[in-house]
Structure 1
Amino acid sequence: MRLERRETPVSGGGEGKPVLVFDSGIGGLSVLSAIRKLMPTQRLVYVADDAAFPYGNWKEDELSAHIVRLMGELIAAHDPAAVVIACNTASTLVLPPLRAKFSIPFVGTVPAVKPAAEQTKTGVIAVLATSATIARDYTRKLIESFAQSAKVQLVAAPRLATVAEDLLRGQPIDREVIRDEIAPCFVEIDGKRTDIVVLGCTHYPFLIDEMNIVAPWPVIWLDPAPAIARRLVSVLDGKIPGPDGKSVALFTSGRPVPPRLQALLKNDGLNAAP
């Protein structure tokens, strides 16, 4: 089961600067798709730092320095109107140094704990995320601030983002891995079951169909992408820069883009940069 909400597209206009959408891999395309629904004419630059994927394997100080350095290069090259960090692992670590160093707006991605706590009917929710996001103090502070009345299961899924990458690239996946990764989300406390699972990684929405197949009972998979897109519109004060050139997808590894991923990019109006 998924939450549905109709969005009203915002028309373009302005000086033609792109919006930069950044992730460690291709999971951030779930966020880009939501942005595209609200801003159908907006020029977008999607950057997948797949040379450094997965971010969860990095030491925090090294990852922070890497992203800040890379972001400096990207901002210099593309002069974006705003940057969306479409990655929970990165957002919970590097938003403060990025905002301190660069003057343009940054929109981050953090686990949707607050809306989950507001919407749960049973009071039992789970946060499914990478090991790094689960370990962050930021995540625990979200729970302390917004979900004190709920029973919250923190579930680290170290293999799930890689499964999503494989799926989007047209490679075979093991459904049993998905079953094992999500199983701890499903608990029963005082006769009440988990009813909402917060998707704390932008890769995970691409696995919802697969997760529904192996889940022991139906839940709401809470995808933060629509809220991130609305936040971007708010940050830009509704003054959405108009199109000036093609929307592109860049991959830091330089590896060839497989046909299935090329088709996915085209569906979002992106051309893979050579």
Structure 2
Amino acid sequence: MAEAAEAPVLVFDSGIGGLTVLREARMLMPDRRFVYVADNAAFPYGDWPEEALLTHLLALFERLLAEFRPACVIIACNTAFTLAGSALRARFPATDFVGTVPAIKPAAERTASGLISVLATPATVKRDYTRALIESFAAHCHARLVGSRYLAALAEAYISGGDVTDEALWAEIAPCFVEENGRRTDIVVLACTHYPFLANRFRKLAPWPVDWLNPAEAIALQARRVLGARPSAAIEGANRDIAIFTSSDVRAEIKRLMQGFGLMVADAAVR
């Protein structure tokens, strides 16, 4: 168990997508210690019924918070936070949760054409939280919600060295591109932290240039604001940050990826 003076920042995701947020958080807070938790036992979250997933997340965080007593928690997963963020804050009021939500507000502020697309998992697309963001911040835009069932898994395969074809990617992102009355989509919100790993591939496949909006830096900035002047952990060695999985069934290439991010992979899984 972590000592209070060395409380880490816990970064949580269903898989490896949260590494895009961890990368930004480390750059902004190099003196902090991080614990990365990948809920690979439950991946992908999009296959879960909502109530079952909510129950699962609350039970899992009960264990994680008791084990690590983090200085704050970054939920680097749109699906998890839009579903469980309010319930987690209510259940664990002593813990600061920094959430991940679709970057609809900045997209609506930046668009020139008024056509934006939100590329997300089906679970995030159908969430009332997402639609409320559009109503609040993008009512003046045409916001297309694109729910991709396979893109998170394709990103995991790609970043771990697997072969992902252009055809497979295009099938998932093609609905993002809209032409209407001489206007074209000019911003695509990447509303899943897995997707930025594929951003360069998306740019090559796009039929015209768009701004692929990655929220990772904004999430990291919010975490730094939340932590404020709280004491940081002493830096001891290069592998002070660890990665933990919820299933011990982790492919060797995923372990190598974690190590490439400077994370020491824990031997035991969270139960």
Asked if these proteins are the same fold (TM beyond 0.5), I'd say yes
Give the equivalent residue in structure 2 for 1:265: 258
Aligned residues: 260
Task: Describe how 1:123-138 pairs up with structure 2 within 5 A.
Answer: 123-138=114-129
Which range moved further: 238-247 or 195-204? 238-247
Greater Cα shift, 149-158 or 170-179 = 170-179
Residues 24, 52 of structure 1: 8 Å contact kept: yes
Is the contact made by 1:16 and 1:244 (CA closer than 8 Å) also made in structure 2? Answer: no
Deviations 1:118-163 (Å, cap 9, x if unpaired)?
A: 1111111100000000000100000000001111111111110000
C-alpha distance after superposition, 1:163-194 (max 9, x if no partner) = 00111222221221110110010011121111
Q: Report the counterpart of residue 144 of structure 1 in structure 2.
A: 135
Q: Take 1:68 and 1:248, find their aligned partners in 2: how far apart are those partners? A: 22
Counterpart Cα distance in 2 of 1:58 and 1:244: 39
**Aligned pairs (5 A) from 1:3-42:** 15-42=5-32
Bigger shift: residues 241-250 or 21-30: 241-250
How far, CA to CA, are the matches of 1:240 and 1:108 in structure 2?
Answer: 22
Map 1:102-251; keep pairs closer than 5 Å.
102=92, 103-239=94-230, 241-243=232-234, 246-251=240-245
Distance in 1, Cα, partners of 2:31 & 2:224: 13
Alignment-mate amino acid for residue 38 of structure 2: A
The answer as to 2:247 corresponding to 1:253 is yes
TM-score, reference length from structure 2 = 0.92
| Cα distance in 1 for residues equivalent to 2:210 and 2:150 | 21
TM-align CA RMSD? 1.4
- SS of the residue 1:96 aligns to: helix
Partners of 2:30 and 2:62 in 1: CA distance: 27
CA distance in 2, matches of 1:187, 1:240: 48
Residue matched to 1:61:
51
- Bigger mean CA deviation after superposition, 148-157 or 129-138: 148-157
The Cα shift of 1:97 comes to 1.1
Amino acid at match of 1:172: D
Per the alignment, residue 83 of structure 2 pairs with 93
Amino acid at match of 1:258: A
Structure 1: unaligned runs, 5 residues or longer: 1-13
User: For structure 2, which runs of at least 5 residues remain unmatched after alignment?
Assistant: none
Per-residue deviation, 1:21: 0.4
User: What is the CA-CA distance between 1:235 and the residue it aligns to?
Assistant: 1.0
* 1:81–1:241 Cα contact (<8 Å) kept: no
Q: Which amino acid letter does the alignment assign opposite residue 195 of structure 2?
A: Y
Cα deviation, residue 243, structure 1: 3.3
Superposed CA deviations along residues 178-230 of structure 1, whole A, max 9, x for unmatched, are 10110010011121111100000000000001111211111111000000001
Give secondary structure in 2 for the equivalent of 1:255: coil
Moved over 4 A (4+): none
